Structure 1
Amino acid sequence: MQLWGTASRSNITIIQRVQSYILKHITNAPWFIKTREIHENLNMPMVKDEISTHGDKYIKRLQKHPNKLAGQLTVPESIRRLKKRRDIFDH
């Protein structure tokens, strides 16, 4: 089960750091090679890119879903704030 969409930024950063560490050791890359270059050369997406790709696919699937209620999950709700009533006797 993929729970990346609910992961905090700090957890995503940790996952990215571990992935980069493993890729550097697998490729035996020297210290001065940038992490982004290793990912590009190996055609390995960064964690944030992969999360956004899966999120976009999920939204598209929901919008095409035969159940209309599922499609409405992608529409943001308007936030209605209640006005605070001023009581007559609060003066």
Structure 2
Amino acid sequence: MIRYLGVTLDKRMTYGPHITELVKRLRNRIRELKPLLCKYSPLSISTKRLLYLSFVRPIWQYASGLYGSASDSQLERIQVQQNRVLRLITDAPWYVRNSIIHKDLDVPEVKEVVHQTYRQLYASIKNHANPVFSDFVQRLPVPRANRRLKRRHHADQRPEEQQ
């Protein structure tokens, strides 16, 4: 594993170690802000929301354009932490859906933000004035169905496996 500019990269580019580190940092930040975000805090809900947007969200949003291709299960780990802090802010009972809390606080879900940032990064590279960047996007392989465990088709074999 390599850590470069705050992003932990593994050789398979699964972003699992990076998201594990993000979850640790998110939990620590939520723990630090808990006295300000809990129901006993004199702050209004809008102020608590601003605290979340200012101090917690930038932790997971940094480099989200890179790990936008991470699996849904990895992004769900970040979403769980966002749900925790939004429930802490609103003091919502267990039977209130997370989607209702997101809509009431006007906070998009993690998956939406990450995919939007990923699309913006892709578009900026594609429309870049430098021909190296625009050529790079055109050379990206066409995505195939994910058949990592069952290689039944000729196209699914790695180059070293082909004869």
Query: Which segments of 5 or more consecutive residues in structure 1 lack a partner in the other structure?
Result: 85-91
**Alignment partners' CA distance in 1, 2:115 and 2:136:** 17
Q: Could you list the structure 1 runs, at least 4 aligned residues long, displaced by more than 4 angstroms after superposition.
A: none
Alignment counterpart, residue 27 of structure 1, candidates 57, 75, 90: 90
Structure 2 portions without partners, runs of 5+: 1-61, 143-154
Larger Rg: 1
Question: In the alignment, is residue 47 of structure 1 matched against residue 110 of structure 2?
Answer: yes
2:129 maps to what in 1? 66
TM-score, length-normalised on structure 2? 0.44
Percent of aligned positions with the same letter in both sequences? 27
Residue of 77, 82, 87 corresponding to 2:141:
77
Alignment of structure 1 residues 2-13 onto 2, 5 Å? 2=63, 3-5=66-68, 7-13=70-76
- Residue type of the alignment partner of 1:41: D
Q: For residues 118 and 87 of structure 2, what CA distance do their matches in structure 1 show?
A: 27
Cα deviation for residue 10 of structure 1 reads 3.4
Amino acid at match of 2:141: E
Q: Hey, what's the Cα distance between the residues in 2 that align with 1:56 and 1:7? A: 13
Q: 2: distance between equivalents of 1:38 and 1:4?
A: 25
TM-score (norm: length of structure 1): 0.75
